[in-house]
Amino acid sequence: MKDRMLAGQEYMANDPDLIADGRRAAALTARYNAELDPDARRELLGELLGSVGPNTSIRSDLRCDYGYNVHVGANVFVNWGAVLLDVGRITIGDFVQFGPNVQLLTATHPLDAGRRREGWEGSAPITIGDDVWFGGGVIVLPGVTVGARTVVGAGAVVTKDLPEGVLALGNPARVVREIG
């Protein structure tokens, strides 16, 4: 099921291997969120995430589904309360900044109620370019790419791709101007 999940195909969320992976991530995030020693936190983050670059800081309370589908670049700052629903791949570039309570949501669900009741889900990856800044409470939906040097204002809901070097605001997020 993991291969189907990562390929963006529908998969069964109640697959025993995925449940075990989710429990592993829950245990690691609980330890990470409770740990105060910076070196121990860095080690736990390296164990949890697929990859993490140098000089990256992720504050507690971090939440993720599996962790191994999250790839974070160098010199990234993630403020409190980040939610990284990584049933699909999440790629975060270098020098990215998150305000508090940012959510990256890769999970998709069938519109058909019967398929949802059966436990089917899907995913679409999220890619964040270098030097992006998300204000507090930004939500990024499945399948979105945010171009380098883009700023997304607090509370925005990003429903579609954003180009490089723009300021986007609102729900849904709309480009209001280019950033020089």
CA angle 123, 94, 83 (to 5 degrees): 40
Is there a catalytic annotation at residue 109? Answer: yes
Distance between CA 152 and CA 102 in Å, rounded? 11
- List the catalytic residue out of 43, 51, 109, 179: 109
Distance between CA 155 and CA 173 in Å, rounded? 9
Distance between CA 141 and CA 35 in Å, rounded? 30
Task: Look up residue 173 and give its amino acid.
Answer: A
Three-state DSSP state, 113: helix
CA angle 171, 122, 131 (to 5 degrees): 50
> Which residues are marked as active site?
109
